[in-house]
A and B are shown apart, each in its own frame.
Chain A
Amino acid sequence: MSNTTLNETERPDDPDERTTTVGESEETIQPSWRQYHFDGDSKISVSGLDVHYGDDHALKDIGMEIPEESVTALIGPSGCGKSTFLRCLNRMNDRIRAAEIDGEVSYDGENIYGDGVNLVELRKRVGMVFQAPNPFPKSIRENVSYGPRKHGDIRTGFFDRLTGRDDREQRDRIVEESLRKAALWDEVKDRLDENALSLSGGQQQRLCIARCLAVDPDVILMDEPASALDPIATAKIEDLIEQLAEEYTVVVVTHNMQQAARISDQTAVFLTGGELVEYGDTDQIFENPNSDRVEDYITGKFG
C-alpha cells in the first residue's frame, strides 16, 4: 500500500505548475481531493482544468487522478459541470462551439490537450456512452461492427472479398463477443440484421455499450447511462458497469446517489459553480465526508 500521491512520484514539476495556474486560491484551504490516495496505477490524471462557455465559467481548476480498472462516479446537482468534465476526458467538448478549455488532462502520461494529439486515436482508447441511447439507424450487426470497420480493423469491401481478405468471420466474432460482454447477446442473437431502432430503450443502451466495447477501448465514459431507462433496465446496466470494471476503467456520471454508492469504487462530488468539492473512496464520501457542503448534499439538505 503506497500512500504517496502520483503528483509527487510521477510528476514532480506539478506543484509548481499548480501554483502558477491556481494563483490566488493558494491562500484558501486545500480541498480534500488534493489529498486523495489510492492503490494501483492512475489511468487519467487531470490538473488545473478550467472550462468556459463564453462568459460562463463551467469548471474551475479541477484536479483528479482516476485509477485504472475501477468505477469512478461523478455526482452532483444538475448544472454542476460533471457532464462537461466527462466530455473533457475524450475531447468531445471540442465539438461545442463556445467551449474554451485550459489545463491538462493526461492519459497514460500523455497530455491530450497538448500539440499533435490524434483525436481519432484518443477516442478509440476512450470510449463513450451517452445519456439517451443513440444507436445508428442501421442493423444491430452494423451498429456493433461500426467502430472496427471504420478503423480498418475489419475489412468487408468489394476488393477485400475479391482478394480473399474478407473478415466477415472476424466481424461476427467481434459482434458476438461485444454483445456478450454487454449482456445483450442472448436477447438479439437471432435478429442481428434487424434495425437497432426496433430494440427497447434498455436494449438500445446496452447495444451502445457493446458498440463501444467493439472498438476495444481502455476507458469507458458514461454520461448518466441509465437516466432514460426503467428500473429493471437500470439494474441490468448497473450490473454491467460493475462487470466492466474488471477489464476497463469506467467513469460514470450520475445524478442518482444510491446508484453511485452501489456501483462505484471512488466518487467525485461536484457542486454548483463547477467546483470539485470532494473526491475519495465511495464508502468514505457517503459515510464520512470531509466537507460540510458534501454532507449537506448527500443527506439531501442541499441540492
Chain B
Amino acid sequence: MSGEYASTLVTDETTLGERVASTVIGIGLLVFMLSVLAVARVVTEEASVLGVGLYDFLAGGLLAMGLGVFVVGVGSALGAFDTTPDETPGTVTAGAFGIIAAAAVWLATLQLGVLGPLGGFPVGLLAGAVTFVGLGLLSEDIGSTLPAVVVAVAVSGTVLTNLLTPAWLWDPEWLSAAFSGSMTIPTLTAAAALLTAWAGAKSYGGYGSEGRQAGAYLLVALNALGMLAVLLAVILFIVTKGIGPAFEGFSLYPFDWPFVLNGYSFRPDVVNGVFPAIVGTLYLVVGATVTGVPVAVAAAVFLTEYAEQGPFVGAVEIATNGLWSTPSVVYGLFGYAFLVPRLGGTTSLLSGILVLGFMLMPLCLITSREAIKSVPDEYRDASAALGVSQWETIKSVVVPAAMPGIVTGVILGVGRIAGETAPILLVMSGGLRDDAPNVLGSFEFTSAPPFVANDALLQSAPALPYQLYATITSGVSAENAVEYGWGTAFVLLVVVLSFYAVGIATRMYFRRRLNHE
C-alpha cells in the first residue's frame, strides 16, 4: 500500500549530500562570526588564522562554502543525491536574490564611475528583474544554490585577487562617511557567509518543504542568538566599565561604599558618589507611586466593577492608550507649561514627582484592569450570594484576589519611570551636588496659603538618569568624568533592572501558583 507514495516513510542514515551541506553550514558559522568580530574591530586585518591573513582566511572559507553548495546543488539536479526539490525556488527566494543583484549592479556602476549615481539605478533594477524571473524558472535545487554560489565566489574572488584590499576606500561625495576596505570586506563576507549557509541548510533538508524549514530555522535561530548576544554584550559592557568606578574604595568591614554613600564634592581626594541622586530617585519613585498608583487602581476598579461598556468607557480607553503612548518628552513639555509655573515657578522635585505620577498612572491602570478582570466571576457571585454589598465584595474579595497582578504592574511601571530622563530634564533638572535633598525634614507651617511649605520639594533635586545626562552635556570638571558616568550608568542599570527582575519574577511566581491550583 505504501508503494503509492512517492517518498518513503523511513529514510536511511546520513547521506553524502547531507554531510557536505552540514560542513558548509559549519564553515559558514565560523566565517560569519569572525567577520562580525572584524566589523566590530575586535579582530583586525593584521590578525592571522592558521598562518593566513584574517581576510584571506575569510575569503578562502567562503570559497570552500561556495564549492560545497555548488556540489550539493548540481548533484541534486543531476539526481546524484536523494532530494525532493520543488519546480521553482519561489517568489521570496527569487525576489531576495533579485534585490541583491540590483544592489550589486548599482553599487558596481557607482564604483566604476559610469552612468552617474542615478543612471546606474535603472540598470540595477533591470538586472534585479532579470535575476528574479530567471531564477523563478529554474528548479529549486539549482535556483536557490547557484546564486548563493555566485555571491560567495564573487566576494571571495575580489578579496583573494586583491581587487578589494583593506586599504581600499570608497568616499562618495553624497555621504558624510567613507567606507574602507577593512570595514567593507568583513561586512561582505558576513553577508555572503549567511547567504551561503542558508543555501547549505536548504540542501541539508533536501529542498522542498523541509529544506525551506531548515533554511528558515537556521536564519531565525541565528537572529535570535545574535540578538541576545548583542543585548547581553551591551549589559556586560556597561557592567565591566561601571563596576570599577562604582566599587572604588569599597570595603565590607568596616562597611564603606563611597560611590553609593558619598555626594559629589568636587574634591580630588574624595571619591565622588551618587548618594544625592539615589535619594532623589527614591523620592521621585515613592512620590510618583503615591500619587499615580491609587488613582490608577481606583480607575481600574471603576472600569471593571461599576462601569458598563459605553461611550464613557470607550473614551477612557482611548485616553488611557493615548496617555500610555504619549512620548515622555511631551509629558515634560506639559509639566513645564502646566506644573512648573503653578508650583513655585522653578523646576522642582514636586513637579518631577507629579509628571512621573501622570506617566505611571496609565501603565498601572492597564495592568491593574487586566488583573481585576481576570478575577473569576464566581468569587463575586459567591460573595453577593451571601448578601455582601458590592463595595464590600470589591474590597474584601476582588481587590485582594487581583493584588498579585496589580503589584506586578506597579513594579514594572516603576521600573520604567525610574529610568526616565526626558521629563525630569524639563521639570526638575538638578545638577551634581554633595548633599541629598531632605524632604521629610523640610515641612513648615506658614500663615499664608497654602499654609504648608516645603523648600526641598520646591527645589530641583538630583536623580540618577538626569545625573548621567549631566555628565555628558556639561562634562564634569573632574578628570575621571567618563568613569564617573560609567559608574552612574551601572548603578542606574542595577536599580532599574532590579525593579524589572523583581516584577517579572513576581508575575511568574503568581502565574505558576495559579496554574497549579
- Contact present for B12 and A159 (CB under 8 Å): no
- Contact present for B90 and A157 (CB under 8 Å): yes
Partner of A152, one of B5, B91, B208: B208
- Contact present for B1 and A159 (CB under 8 Å): no
Task: Mark A123-164 against chain B: 1 for CB-CB distance below 8 A, else 0.
Answer: 011000000000000000000000000111001011110110
State how many angstroms separate the Cβ of A155 from the closest Cβ of chain B: 7
- Contact present for A121 and B7 (CB under 8 Å): yes
Which residues of A sit under 8 angstroms from B13, Cβ to Cβ?
116
Chain A contact-residue range equals 20 to 34
Partner of A118, one of B7, B88, B94: B7
Which residues of B sit under 8 angstroms from A151, Cβ to Cβ?
209
State how many angstroms separate the Cβ of B407 from the closest Cβ of chain A: 29
Which residues of A sit under 8 angstroms from B209, Cβ to Cβ?
120, 150-152
Residue ID in chain B nearest A112 by CB atoms: B9
Which residues of A sit under 8 angstroms from B10, Cβ to Cβ?
110, 114-118
**Beyond A108-B1, A150-B209, A163-B137, is A157–B91 a contact (Cβ under 8 Å)?**
yes
State how many angstroms separate the Cβ of A69 from the closest Cβ of chain B: 11
* Residue A122 is within 8 A (CB to CB) of chain B in the complex: yes
* Residue B210 is within 8 A (CB to CB) of chain A in the complex: yes
Which residues of B sit under 8 angstroms from A191, Cβ to Cβ?
none
Partner of A159, one of B5, B8, B11, B94: B94
Task: Mark B126-156 against chain A: 1 for CB-CB distance below 8 A, else 0.
Answer: 0000000100110000000000000000000
Which residues of A sit under 8 angstroms from B133, Cβ to Cβ?
162
**Beyond A116-B13, A152-B208, A157-B91, is A108–B136 a contact (Cβ under 8 Å)?**
no
Which residues of B sit under 8 angstroms from A158, Cβ to Cβ?
91, 136
Complex CA–CA separation, A162 to B132 (angstroms): 12
- Contact present for B7 and A157 (CB under 8 Å): no
* Residue B171 is within 8 A (CB to CB) of chain A in the complex: no
State how many angstroms separate the Cβ of A112 from the closest Cβ of chain B: 7
Complex CA–CA separation, A116 to B8 (angstroms): 10
Which residues of B sit under 8 angstroms from A160, Cβ to Cβ?
87-88
- Contact present for A118 and B8 (CB under 8 Å): yes
Residue ID in chain A nearest B210 by CB atoms: A120
* Residue A107 is within 8 A (CB to CB) of chain B in the complex: yes
* Residue A104 is within 8 A (CB to CB) of chain B in the complex: no
* Residue B381 is within 8 A (CB to CB) of chain A in the complex: no
Which residues of B sit under 8 angstroms from A116, Cβ to Cβ?
10-13
- Contact present for B91 and A107 (CB under 8 Å): no
Which residues of A sit under 8 angstroms from B11, Cβ to Cβ?
116, 118
* Residue A165 is within 8 A (CB to CB) of chain B in the complex: yes
Residue ID in chain A nearest B140 by CB atoms: A152
- Contact present for B90 and A121 (CB under 8 Å): no
- Contact present for B86 and A152 (CB under 8 Å): yes
Which residues of A sit under 8 angstroms from B474, Cβ to Cβ?
none
Complex CA–CA separation, A115 to B10 (angstroms): 8
* Residue B2 is within 8 A (CB to CB) of chain A in the complex: yes
State how many angstroms separate the Cβ of B10 from the closest Cβ of chain A: 5
State how many angstroms separate the Cβ of B133 from the closest Cβ of chain A: 8
* Residue A275 is within 8 A (CB to CB) of chain B in the complex: no
Which residues of A sit under 8 angstroms from B1, Cβ to Cβ?
68, 108, 218
State how many angstroms separate the Cβ of B421 from the closest Cβ of chain A: 42
- Contact present for A118 and B91 (CB under 8 Å): no
- Contact present for B88 and A107 (CB under 8 Å): no
Residue ID in chain B nearest A121 by CB atoms: B9
With most chain A CB atoms within 10 A of its CB, the pick from B10, B12, B90, B91 is B10
Which residues of B sit under 8 angstroms from A159, Cβ to Cβ?
87-88, 90-91, 94, 136-137
Residue ID in chain B nearest A124 by CB atoms: B5
With most chain A CB atoms within 10 A of its CB, the pick from B1, B7, B86, B208 is B1
Task: Mark B82-109 against chain A: 1 for CB-CB distance below 8 A, else 0.
Answer: 0000111011001000000000000000
With most chain A CB atoms within 10 A of its CB, the pick from B7, B12, B88, B208 is B88
Complex CA–CA separation, A162 to B8 (angstroms): 31
**Beyond A110-B10, A117-B10, A125-B5, is A162–B87 a contact (Cβ under 8 Å)?**
no
With most chain B CB atoms within 10 A of its CB, the pick from A122, A125, A159, A160 is A159
Residues 3-53 (chain B) with a chain A CB within 8 angstroms: 5, 7-13
Complex CA–CA separation, A115 to B9 (angstroms): 11
- Contact present for A162 and B2 (CB under 8 Å): no
- Contact present for B210 and A165 (CB under 8 Å): no
Residue ID in chain A nearest B143 by CB atoms: A159
Which residues of B sit under 8 angstroms from A150, Cβ to Cβ?
209
Complex CA–CA separation, A158 to B136 (angstroms): 9
Complex CA–CA separation, A125 to B7 (angstroms): 11
Residue ID in chain A nearest B85 by CB atoms: A152
Residue ID in chain B nearest A107 by CB atoms: B9
Residue ID in chain A nearest B84 by CB atoms: A152
Complex CA–CA separation, A30 to B5 (angstroms): 38
Complex CA–CA separation, A157 to B143 (angstroms): 15
With most chain A CB atoms within 10 A of its CB, the pick from B9, B87, B210 is B9
State how many angstroms separate the Cβ of A154 from the closest Cβ of chain B: 12
With most chain B CB atoms within 10 A of its CB, the pick from A125, A150, A155, A158 is A158
State how many angstroms separate the Cβ of B3 from the closest Cβ of chain A: 10
Which residues of B sit under 8 angstroms from A121, Cβ to Cβ?
5, 7-9
Complex CA–CA separation, A160 to B88 (angstroms): 8
Which residues of A sit under 8 angstroms from B94, Cβ to Cβ?
159
Complex CA–CA separation, A88 to B280 (angstroms): 61
Complex CA–CA separation, A163 to B136 (angstroms): 9
State how many angstroms separate the Cβ of B211 from the closest Cβ of chain A: 11
Which residues of B sit under 8 angstroms from A124, Cβ to Cβ?
5
- Contact present for A122 and B9 (CB under 8 Å): yes
Complex CA–CA separation, A114 to B137 (angstroms): 39
Complex CA–CA separation, A217 to B12 (angstroms): 23
Complex CA–CA separation, A155 to B382 (angstroms): 58
Which residues of B sit under 8 angstroms from A110, Cβ to Cβ?
2, 9-10
Task: Mark B444-482 against chain A: 1 for CB-CB distance below 8 A, else 0.
Answer: 000000000000000000000000000000000000000
State how many angstroms separate the Cβ of A165 from the closest Cβ of chain B: 6
State how many angstroms separate the Cβ of A261 from the closest Cβ of chain B: 29
Complex CA–CA separation, A114 to B8 (angstroms): 14
The 8 A-B pairs with the shortest beta carbon distances in the complex, nearest first, are A159-B136, A159-B88, A116-B11, A158-B91, A121-B9, A108-B2, A116-B10, A110-B9
Additional A-B contact list (15), CB under 8 Å, known A116-B10, A120-B210, A159-B90? A68-B1, A108-B2, A108-B9, A112-B9, A118-B7, A121-B5, A124-B5, A125-B5, A152-B209, A157-B88, A157-B90, A159-B88, A160-B88, A162-B133, A165-B87
A-B contact pairs, 29 of them (CB 8 A): A68-B1, A108-B9, A110-B2, A110-B10, A112-B9, A114-B10, A116-B10, A116-B13, A117-B9, A118-B9, A118-B11, A120-B209, A121-B8, A121-B9, A122-B9, A124-B5, A125-B5, A125-B9, A150-B209, A152-B86, A152-B208, A157-B88, A157-B91, A158-B91, A159-B87, A159-B91, A159-B94, A160-B88, A163-B88
List the interface of chain B (C-beta within 8 A of A): 1-2, 5, 7-13, 86-88, 90-91, 94, 133, 136-137, 208-210
